[in-house]
Amino acid sequence: MSGGADRWDGATEALLVSAARRDHVRKTILPALESGAWVLCDRFADSTLAYQGYGRGQPLPMLRSLQEIATDGLLPSLTLWLDLPLEEGLRRAAQRRGGEARFEGLDLGFHRRVAEGFAALAAAEPSRFRRIDADGTPEAVSARIAAAICAHFPDLA
């Protein structure tokens, strides 16, 4: 989604990301899973709950209903939550994109609510979520991610 942070309200944003997610699930994710492939997806349904729910204040039951439709009830086996101090995360995002992007331009309160949302989601489903300390070098963070994946899927190790 492009445009300024105030381009859409939270409900419109939730509908747009849900429509895009449904298309992605039906055209890419489900065929890959049906073929036996592993799927790694950046910002799946949990992100909608964190960003549009906790961050934008949209009702979680409504968002869960939207996600049920968007994903045909598909849930990830594992959700990796890359956790980083807010200021550092925003600094990295600005470097990566050469400046502010849609969410990165929002106030720290929004980002705190999103982080609190991910923490709440992880606490509610500890068997599915893994918090990854994203502070450190790319190599160190990659090693933490690999360790979390291997711990969750021991047949990979």
Report which of residues 105 and 76 the model is more confident about: 76
Render pLDDT for 16-58 as a digit per residue (tens, 0 to 9). Answer: 999 999 999 999 999 999 999 999 998 899 999 999 999 999 9
Report which of residues 141 and 97 the model is more confident about: 141
Residue 106 lies in a domain: yes
Name the one residue in this structure whose structure tokens are 């502070």. 135
Which tokens sit at 44?
A: 């799946």
The residue segments making up the domain with residue 119 are 10-76+90-126
Report which of residues 10 and 125 the model is more confident about: 125
Enter the pTM of the model: 0.86
Is the pLDDT confidence value at 136 over 70? yes
CB 145 within 8 A of CB 92: no
Residue 147 lies in a domain: no
Residue 53 lies in a domain: yes
Render pLDDT for 78-125 as a digit per residue (tens, 0 to 9). Answer: 999 999 988 887 887 777 765 545 566 677 899 999 999 999 999 999
Residue 109 lies in a domain: yes
Contacts of 157 (CB under 8 A, 6+ apart): 150
CATH number of the domain encompassing residue 114: 3.40.50.300
In the chain, how many domains are there?
1
pLDDT band, residue 1 (cuts 50/70/90): very low
